[in-house]
Amino acid sequence: MSALGIDARLAATQILHGVLFDKRLMSDLLGADDGPIARLSGPERARAQALATGVLRHLAALDAVLDAFLDRPTPLKVKNALRLAAFEMLAEGVAAHGAVNAAVAIVRGSAKAGNLAGLTNAVGRRIAEGGAAIWEAQPPQALPSWLAKPVAKNFGRQVVGAIEVAHGRGAAFDLTLKVPAEAADWAARLEADILPTGSLRLKGRPQLTALPGFETGDWWVQDAAAALPVRLLGDIAGARVLDLCAAPGGKTLQLAAARAAVTALDLSSERLDRLSENLQRTGLSANVVAADVLSWTPDTPFDAVLLDAPCSATGTIRRHPDLPFARAGADMSGLFQVQAAMIDAALAMLKPGGRLVYCTCSLLPREGEVQIADALKRHPGLTVMPPDLAALGVEPGWQTAEGGLRLRPDYWADRGGMDGFYMALLQRGAA
């Protein structure tokens, strides 16, 4: 067995432990200096992340397979190794000897569970022989009840099932072009599809850094749904635009590419470093500011502000399946209060008649439609500007009663779906 294979698999089990036992987000684990992938090579990191993501995306189905062959309580270390082996064999078609031997090696190397290496081998072999039928009979991973209930209440029980199917399929790579008019040329060069909204969708899971246009900064990775909030503003050439909570910078790049004079503000200096790297790669420019949205005051009001507010991120579960386990229905009332406070702060940074785009990558109306309804009550003279659906390339049914846009993972199912998002364009009163 190659060192790459065992090291990546071991790191994947450590990621699983961090998410399922410690209730940590995968992004925190992957970014930690002493985290599971810190000492791995690039290919090893990618493989470990892909394995952990796959297991979490199909955890209930994998556990149904394990339960059929395990007749005793099993330590988490052993269970995670077996989950990994089962995923490789049943979802990826990896040869049984490689997947099972890796699981055995991981368990044998554990100080507390090493004596269960024989059990791991036996169960792994049984899964290889009889697990496929059980695996294929499993439904998609269910939404956690704390999310399924509000989704069912607001969109219907059938939508819950459709979103669960979309989550099981994962997410494709979408690209935003620096020059949107070159979409046909780049689609041909990258063998990508042009979506109705103008984003490019890649086929398969290519190595992004090796693709044409990456080094030259002609495009950046950005989900098709996440690319729409900036486009609500229309022509912003020459306008002074503030991007709040800007890192890692996809929307900042869009604003700069549209020839706006951009100020990108974020609380995290570390995340802003990544934004600055993206600006450098694409040859775009913005004024980058590390500050707190709730305490920062601009010298001059802006023509437009984009607020991608901190949220539950429940619209991104198809690409971040760790979220339901790490969040586990934690009380989000404080988050809702921060969103409202940020809307108020953003409006204060606008000149009279200026426009605010509010958006969240959330499926919860409390973080979208309800926030806008509440903001309209707090701010007399504030209005919602309905989107130009044809210009955006979106469906009429996506527009909400108050004039925003509600996007869901089950939309464009035949094209591969999209992240869940809410967005609305607001205009401040002239006085």
SS3 25: coil
Nearest C-alpha neighbor of 309 from the set 284, 334, 285: 334
- The conformation of residue 116, written as its DSSP 8-state character, comes to G
By 3-state DSSP, what share of the chain in percent is helix, strand and coil, each rounded to 5?
50, 15, 35
Nearest C-alpha neighbor of 118 from the set 88, 83, 74, 84: 74
Nearest C-alpha neighbor of 416 from the set 203, 219, 248, 262: 203
Cis peptide before 73 (omega within 30 of 0): no
SS3 4: helix
Question: How far, in Å, CA of 223 to CA of 320, rounded?
Answer: 13
Question: How far, in Å, CA of 357 to CA of 338, rounded?
Answer: 16
> End-to-end alpha-carbon separation of the chain, Å?
71
Question: How far, in Å, CA of 207 to CA of 159, rounded?
Answer: 33
Q: Are the beta carbons of 369 and 404 closer than 8 angstroms?
A: yes
In this structure, what token pair is assigned to residue 43? 């290919």
Task: Name beta bridge partners: 424.
Answer: 358
- Active-site hit among 245, 311, 359, 361: 361
SS3 219: strand
Q: Are the beta carbons of 333 and 282 closer than 8 angstroms?
A: no
Task: Name beta bridge partners: 305.
Answer: 242, 356
In this structure, what token pair is assigned to residue 426? 């607001």
Active site (annotated) includes residue 361: yes
Helices (H), 70-218: 76-91, 96-108, 117-136, 145-155, 157-169, 183-190
Q: Are the beta carbons of 107 and 81 closer than 8 angstroms?
A: yes
Residues with catalytic roles = 361
